[in-house]
Amino acid sequence: MADNAAMVSIPETEAAFPNEWLAFEVMDSDERGFPLRGRLIAHAPRRAPIEEAVLEAQPDDFYVVWTGERPPKGMAYLL
């Protein structure tokens, strides 16, 4: 896990942490609402620590993403 107060590019940070869950406090989004920049709250290979970090940080706007392999088209994972 990591707590980083600096603003980061969300797409670049996602690329830097393959096969991990990432949680961001969103500071800037595009015109469609897709998160672009923010503060990395936490990253970990398991989701539970991410959920705990988001609950502890209590950001106004947050984004959680898995950077690993996506399910095949037509399938979904239940978390």
Domain coordinates in residue numbering, the chain: 7-66
In 1-79, beta strands by DSSP E: 7-9, 21-29, 35-44, 62-66
> What's 32's DSSP letter?
T
What phi and psi, each to the nearest 5 degrees, are found at residue 11?
-60, -40
CA distance 72 to 66: 15
The pLDDT tens digits of the residues spanning 14-69 come to: 999 999 999 999 999 999 999 999 999 999 999 999 999 999 999 999 999 999 98
pTM over 0.95? The answer is: no
